[in-house]
Amino acid sequence: MSYIITDDCISCGACEADCPVAAISEGDGKYVIDETLCTDCGACADGCPVDAAIPD
């Protein structure tokens, strides 16, 4: 299982900075998580100010 970033993303970049395995990058209008790199640690969800990072 990995996390995903919903359309609620405000592109602030907090999740990218919090990800310990660099699985998050800026996408088209929102950040995206590479599910092959995600370790399901939840750091992105903990740091997201709008709760856009959720378990998939």
Q: What is the pLDDT of residues 3-43, one digit of tens each?
A: 999 999 999 999 999 999 999 999 999 999 999 999 999 99
pTM of the predicted model as reported, rounded to 2 decimal places: 0.92
Q: What's the pLDDT score for residue 41?
A: 97
34, two tokens: 């590479």
Please provide the CATH number assigned to the domain covering 3-55: 3.30.70.20
Specify whether the CB–CB gap between 18 and 43 falls below 8 A.
yes
Residue 1 pLDDT greater than 90, yes or no: no
Helix (H) or strand (E) segment spanning residue 17: helix 14-18
26 forms beta bridges with: 31
- C-alpha–C-alpha distance, residues 37 and 8, integer Å: 22
